[in-house]
Structure 1
Amino acid sequence: MGAKHTLKIRPEDHVTGGMRIKLRWLIFFRLLFTLLLLGSTVILHIRDGLSFQDPSLIVLYGLICFLAVASLAYAALLKRLDQTTALAYLQIAVDTVAVTFVIFLTGGFSSLFFFLYLVVIMYASILLFRKGGLIMAVLCSIQYGLLVDLEFYGVLKPMGMLVSLTAANYAWSYVLYKVMIIMVACFAVAFLSGIIAEQERSSRRELAAMESYTKRVEKMAAVGEMAAGLAHEICNPLASLIGSVQLLKDEDQDGRGQRKLMLIVLREADRLSVLVNNFLMFAKPPEGQREVVDLGIVLGETAGMFGTSSAYAQRIRISTRIAAGIWIEMDPGQLRQVFWNLLLNAVESIDGEGTIEIEARQETRRAAVVKIRDSGCGIPEDKIESIFDPFMTTKPKGTGLGLSIVHRILETHDCRLDVESGTDQGTTFTLTFKTVDPPTRS
Structure 2
Amino acid sequence: MAERATNPQIGQEALDHKLNWLMSLRFLFALMLAGSTLTYQLAHRLNFTATSVVLLYGVSGVILFLSAIYAIVSPMVQRHQRLFAYAQICLDALCIDLIIYVTGGSTSVFTFLYLLVVVYSSVFVFKRGTLCVAGLCSALFTALLILEFNGTLNPFGPGGGGSGTLTGLQLVQKCAIMVVACFSVALLSGYLSDQERRSKAELVAMEAHLLRVQNLAQIGEMAAGLAHEIKNPLASLSGAIQILKSELSADRDNMRLMQIVLRETDRLGSLVNNFLTFARPSAGRTQAVDLTQALAEIITLFEKDSSVGQRIKIDFNALAEAPRIDIDPLQLHQVIWNLLLNSAEAIVQQGHISVTVQKMKNERILVEVADNGCGMDETTLDTIFNPFYTTKPNGTGLGLSIVYRILETYDCHVDVQSKPGVGSRFCLYFKPSQPPQ
TM-score normalised to structure 2 length: 0.94
Partners in 2 of 1:392 and 1:264 — Cα distance? 27
Cα distance change of structure 1 residues 14 and 242 upon mapping to structure 2, 3 Å threshold: closer
The match for 2:175 is 179
Deviation track 1:98-132 (CA, whole Å, cap 9, x = no partner) reads 00011000111111211100000100011112122
Partners in 2 of 1:160 and 1:387 — Cα distance? 65
One-letter amino acid of the counterpart of residue 207, structure 2: E
Partners in 2 of 1:277 and 1:109 — Cα distance? 78
Cα distance change of structure 1 residues 16 and 378 upon mapping to structure 2, 3 Å threshold: same
The match for 1:278 is 274
Q: Give the drift of 1:310.
A: 4.3
Q: How does 1:375-394 map to 2 (within 5 A)?
A: 375-394=372-391
Structure 1 residue aligned with 2:49, among 48, 53, 57?
53
Identity of aligned residues (%): 43
The match for 1:7 is 3
One-letter amino acid of the counterpart of residue 354, structure 1: G
The match for 2:219 is 223
Structure 2 residue aligned with 1:139, among 130, 136, 139?
136
Cα distance change of structure 1 residues 14 and 285 upon mapping to structure 2, 3 Å threshold: closer
Partners in 2 of 1:269 and 1:14 — Cα distance? 47
Partners in 2 of 1:98 and 1:344 — Cα distance? 57
Partners in 2 of 1:235 and 1:398 — Cα distance? 21
Cα distance change of structure 1 residues 285 and 11 upon mapping to structure 2, 3 Å threshold: closer
Cα distance change of structure 1 residues 320 and 23 upon mapping to structure 2, 3 Å threshold: same
Deviation track 1:313-367 (CA, whole Å, cap 9, x = no partner) reads 4111111222233122211111111111111111111111111111112224652
Cα distance change of structure 1 residues 418 and 274 upon mapping to structure 2, 3 Å threshold: same
The secondary structure found in structure 2 opposite 1:15 is helix
One-letter amino acid of the counterpart of residue 102, structure 2: L
Partners in 1 of 2:325 and 2:132 — Cα distance? 43
Partners in 1 of 2:62 and 2:283 — Cα distance? 69
Answer whether contact 1:88 1:127 (CA < 8 A) is retained: yes
Partners in 2 of 1:241 and 1:338 — Cα distance? 31
Q: Give the drift of 1:307.
A: 2.1
One-letter amino acid of the counterpart of residue 427, structure 2: T
Structure 2 residue aligned with 1:248, among 244, 250, 257?
244
The secondary structure found in structure 2 opposite 1:383 is helix
One-letter amino acid of the counterpart of residue 359, structure 1: T
Partners in 2 of 1:124 and 1:356 — Cα distance? 39
The match for 2:95 is 98
Answer whether contact 1:315 1:353 (CA < 8 A) is retained: yes
Answer whether contact 1:361 1:368 (CA < 8 A) is retained: yes
Kindly indicate whether residue 347 of structure 2 is the aligned counterpart of residue 350 of structure 1. yes
Q: Give the drift of 1:172.
A: 0.8
The match for 1:234 is 230
Deviation track 1:20-68 (CA, whole Å, cap 9, x = no partner) reads 1000110111011111101111112222222222222222211111111
Partners in 2 of 1:419 and 1:215 — Cα distance? 17
Cα distance change of structure 1 residues 344 and 167 upon mapping to structure 2, 3 Å threshold: farther
Partners in 1 of 2:365 and 2:175 — Cα distance? 47
The match for 2:433 is 436
Q: Give the drift of 1:93.
A: 0.6
RMSD: 2.0
Deviation track 1:399-430 (CA, whole Å, cap 9, x = no partner) reads 11111111111122222222122222311112
The match for 1:306 is 302
Partners in 2 of 1:287 and 1:137 — Cα distance? 52
Cα distance change of structure 1 residues 9 and 361 upon mapping to structure 2, 3 Å threshold: closer
Partners in 2 of 1:304 and 1:430 — Cα distance? 20
The match for 1:203 is 199
Q: Give the drift of 1:162.
A: 6.1
Further displaced range: 81-90 or 21-30 = 81-90
Q: Give the drift of 1:174.
A: 2.2
Cα distance change of structure 1 residues 424 and 88 upon mapping to structure 2, 3 Å threshold: same
Answer whether contact 1:227 1:280 (CA < 8 A) is retained: yes
Kindly indicate whether residue 395 of structure 2 is the aligned counterpart of residue 402 of structure 1. no
The match for 2:72 is 76
Answer whether contact 2:355 2:369 (CA < 8 A) is retained: yes
Cα distance change of structure 1 residues 256 and 162 upon mapping to structure 2, 3 Å threshold: closer
Partners in 1 of 2:43 and 2:408 — Cα distance? 73
Query: Aligned residue pairs: how many?
Result: 434
The secondary structure found in structure 1 opposite 2:126 is helix
Q: Give the drift of 1:11.
A: 5.2
The match for 2:264 is 268
One-letter amino acid of the counterpart of residue 48, structure 1: H
One-letter amino acid of the counterpart of residue 100, structure 1: D
One-letter amino acid of the counterpart of residue 367, structure 2: V
The secondary structure found in structure 1 opposite 2:378 is coil
TM-score normalised to structure 1 length: 0.93
The match for 1:258 is 254
Answer whether contact 2:107 2:159 (CA < 8 A) is retained: no
One-letter amino acid of the counterpart of residue 287, structure 2: E
Partners in 2 of 1:213 and 1:114 — Cα distance? 47
Kindly indicate whether residue 99 of structure 2 is the aligned counterpart of residue 117 of structure 1. no
One-letter amino acid of the counterpart of residue 360, structure 1: V
Cα distance change of structure 1 residues 403 and 11 upon mapping to structure 2, 3 Å threshold: closer
Q: Give the drift of 1:242.
A: 1.6
One-letter amino acid of the counterpart of residue 220, structure 1: L
Moved over 4 A (4+): 11-14
Partners in 1 of 2:109 and 2:162 — Cα distance? 13
Answer whether contact 1:130 1:194 (CA < 8 A) is retained: yes
